[in-house]
Amino acid sequence: MTPKQISQALAARAEDVAKLLLPDGKKNGREWCAGSTAGEAGQSTKVCISGDKAGVWSDFAEGEGGDLLDLWCEAKRVSLFEAIQEAKAYLGIQEPEWKKPAKRFSKPQTPKCGKPGGNELAWLTETRKLSLAAIEAYQVATKPGQIILPFKRGPEKGAEMPMCKWRSTTEKRTMPTSKDQQPSLFGWQAIPKNAREVTICEGEFDAMALWDYGYPALSVPFGGGKAGKQEWIEYEYQALEQFDLINVCMDADGPGREGAKEIIERLGRERCRMVNLPAKDANDCRKEGVPKELIDKAFRNAPYMDPSELKSASDYYDEIIWTLYPEDAPHDHTAILPPWQHVQENLQFRMSELMVLCGTNGHGKTQFTGYLTLNAARNGHKCCMASMEMSPGRLLGNMTRQATGMRQPSKQYTLAVSSWYRDKIWMFDCLGTAKVDKILEVFTYARKRYGVTWFVIDSMMKCGIDEDDYNGQKRLLDRLADFKNEHNVFVCLLHHTRKGESEHKPSGKMDVKGTGGITDLADTVGIIWRNKPKEEAMKAHVAGIEKLSEADYDDLHNMPDAVFNIVKQRNHPEGWEGKVSLFFNTESLQYQAGPDAKPFQFVNYSGPVEVAV
């Protein structure tokens, strides 16, 4: 919660809070009156306790005032950060708790250094154009040839220092003083104790330059970029709660924009603004003599980052053109092409897409999906499978046959495949029924921590929803649709078709079991059908029960072993629907494009491949 939100919650209980903070005061109409913020009897300090201005206070003797969080700071003589924690406890506000192993960090080495002087001071003031006041505010020290940059938690002497860096004055080189220091922001020592606005920038000298322009700033420790570059957020998240407004002022380049986007998304777009400076960064502005008026204008005009869901219709011009003229549409490099080249123009698995894969019981839905998952992993996507109908070990055993292209690969080859799985495929280990809340909690974690983009749920009947609970089925599809849109991922939900008169007839869209909302809410609906008539005819021929002529055998051989019927594909430019004929290799469990296609090896391996016969 932001300070403003906490203050509003306190204002809803203004009289009780006023009594708590100013215990010897008295109520006078719509005001609580006390002698000062110390809480003694008197009339100099007044708190509005009802009406539109509830929570607003003024100390007429001292000329101070503000909201109830400000009063909490003054009355209890605590920092804004401490006041926020105490007020949340008073209001009964509890933040979610995450149990995770504590990471161990090393304390930074404190170099032998002193106050800036000589060549180093000249480098700071003449080369970097920083004021003596800024250098002192950020407690910068020097040693011959180096600038020492302490990352402190506060201005007090002896304050905790989780990081320390040094910068060479003769070459562009900045380094931590020791390994494995806790990622932290630089500049807390220069931020006013009860400030509610702060600026986050990309470099330590940029922070000092912004301070000179009148904007106390913190610097990220590792520059622009995303992912690990902004690891500091995890450790500074709570400390940044004290700010209602965060100005994000990263460098005007690719990594700077990437870093700014991640910072804003994680710290809250409702309180973050993107500041665009006249030069590449704040220190360049100082060196180039950019006047304060232009910096002030950049801060005044800094926009909030609107939610990605809120856009003007005119922003969709390109997509309108691509809809009207599909040949002009760029290739979607995030889409996963199926393993069969002859249908890749018509069938793709796209991000922000939900596919419902259906089929009659025993027609190979799980096996088929494992094959598609291997194909996604081979194309660079990280995958997570919730296998609740088949144990993960058995499923992965079949997938290993598919990955190697053989019935029984050698143990060494199996080990190589297992190593290949390590950073590509994760399993949701729950054989039986799992609540959708738990599934999505684990999927969200997998997306955020490991960057997983391909998710499989096997199957809907194992998500704790009854067959006749149509509302529950629709809610599940709604939640999966929200998940794939929010996280820009592909989700495949396995489901059953109704039992017909015979397995010999392929199922259609109207045969999907349950509510019609299942196929309505899915982006793609596919039905896998196993050609039982062919299997039975082949078995009868081999057993000599019903021998086929050579011509009839060739016709049967060339019939598909399975059909993947696409009965809906919303995101295809022309909504392509059709059937994909597939041939099943019983040794490798692979689904291939032709009757005589050779098994494909997903994992390259140069050692012994098969078990010796």
The span from the CA of 152 to the CA of 139, in Å, is 9
- Per the CB < 8 A criterion, the answer to whether 435 and 463 are in contact is yes
| Cα–Cα distance for residue pair 378/304, rounded to 1 Å | 39
- Tokens in use for 415? 């080990």
Which amino acid is residue 539, in one-letter code?
A: K
Last residue of a domain, one of 272, 300, 328: 300
d(CA 283, CA 264): 22
pLDDT tens-digit readout, 586-605: 999 999 999 999 999 999 88
Q: Is 107 a member of any domain?
A: no
Q: What is the pLDDT of residue 388?
A: 86
pLDDT surpassing 80 at residue 448: yes
Mark whether 525 and 540 lie in a shared domain: no
Whether 239 and 150 map to the same domain: the answer is yes
Residue 223 domain-assigned (yes or no):
yes
Question: Are 273 and 233 part of one and the same domain?
Answer: yes
Same domain assignment for residues 580 and 476:
yes
Instruction: Write the secondary structure of 377-437 as one string of H (helix), E (strand) and C (coil).
Output: HHCCCCEEEEECCCCHHHHHHHHHHHHHCCCCECHHHHHHHHHHHCCCEEEECCCCCCCHH
**In angstroms, rounded to a whole number, what is the distance separating the alpha carbons of residues 233 and 25?**
42
pLDDT at 613: 45
- CATH number for position 250: 3.40.1360.10
135 and 280 both lie in a single domain:
yes
461, burial (CB in 10 Å: exposed 0-12, middle 13-18, buried 19+): middle
Mean pLDDT of the chain: 91
Model confidence at 163: pLDDT above 60: yes
Instruction: Please tell me what DSSP assigns to residue 331.
Output: P
Please give the pLDDT value at position 538: 92
Look up residue 287 and give its two tokens: 């060196």
Sequence-ordered list of residues with C-beta below 8 angstroms from that of 62, at least 6 positions apart, any chain: 36, 37, 44
Does position 274 have pLDDT exceeding 80, yes or no? yes
Greater model confidence, 384 or 157: 384
For 499-527, write each residue's pLDDT tens digit. Answer: 877 788 888 888 888 888 899 999 999 99
pLDDT single digits (tens) 88-99: 999 998 876 655
State the CATH number of the domain containing residue 515: 3.40.50.300
Mean pLDDT over 186-197 rounds to 94
Same domain assignment for residues 452 and 588 = yes
432 and 543 belong to one structural domain: no
Q: Is the pLDDT of residue 27 over 80?
A: yes
pLDDT tens digits along 44-99:
999 999 998 999 999 998 889 999 999 999 999 999 999 999 999 999 988 766 55
Q: In 245-284, which positions are buried (b, 16+ CB within 10 angstroms) versus exposed (e)?
A: bbbbbbbbeeebbbbbbbbbeebebebbbbbebebebbbb
Give the total number of structural domains in the chain: 4
Nearest to 365 by CA among 355, 354, 380: 355
From the CB of residue 343, how many other CB atoms can be counted at a distance below 10 Å?
Answer: 20
Q: Which residues contact 238 (CB under 8 A, 6 or more apart)?
A: none
Least confident of 91-100, 327-336, 373-382, 481-490: 91-100
Q: What is the pLDDT of residue 443?
A: 92
Q: Which CATH number belongs to the domain containing residue 47 in this structure?
A: 3.90.580.10
Q: Is 169 exposed, middle or buried (0-12, 13-18, 19+ CB in 10 A)?
A: middle
pLDDT by residue (tens digit) across 542-598? 888 988 899 999 999 999 999 999 999 999 988 899 999 999 999 999 999 999 999
Residue 612 has pLDDT above 90, yes or no: no
Q: Are residues 52 and 136 in the same domain?
A: no
Q: What is the pLDDT of residue 611?
A: 66
Place of tokens 């009063």: 71
Residues 420 and 505 grouped into a single domain: yes
pLDDT at position 305 is: 78
The answer to whether residues 290 and 144 belong to one domain is yes
Measure the CA–CA gap between 138 and 501, rounded to whole angstroms: 80
Using the predicted structure, report yes or no on whether residue 215 has a pLDDT greater than 50: yes
pLDDT of residue 93: 87
Rounded Cα–Cα distance for residues 175 and 193 (Å): 28
Band of pLDDT at residue 100, cut at 50, 70 and 90: low
State percent of the chain over pLDDT 70.
97
In a domain, 604, yes or no: no
Is residue 293 in a domain?
A: yes
Q: List the domain range (segments joined by +) for residue 545.
A: 531-560
Q: What is the mean pLDDT of residues 16-34?
A: 94
Q: Read off the pLDDT of each residue in 184-211 and give the average, rounded to a whole number.
A: 95
Domain membership flag for residue 598 = no
Whole-number pLDDT of residue 351: 94
Answer yes or no: is 348 within a domain. yes
pTM: 0.54
Assess contact for 137 and 149: CB atoms under 8 A.
Answer: no
Same-domain check for residues 195 and 221:
yes
Are 462 and 525 in a shared domain?
Answer: yes
Residue-wise pLDDT for 237-267, tens only, equals 889 999 999 999 999 999 999 999 999 988 9
Is 305 within a domain?
no
Question: How many other CB atoms are there within 10 angstroms of residue 322's CB atom?
Answer: 15
- Within-domain flag for 249: yes
459 cis-preceded (ω within 30 degrees of 0): yes
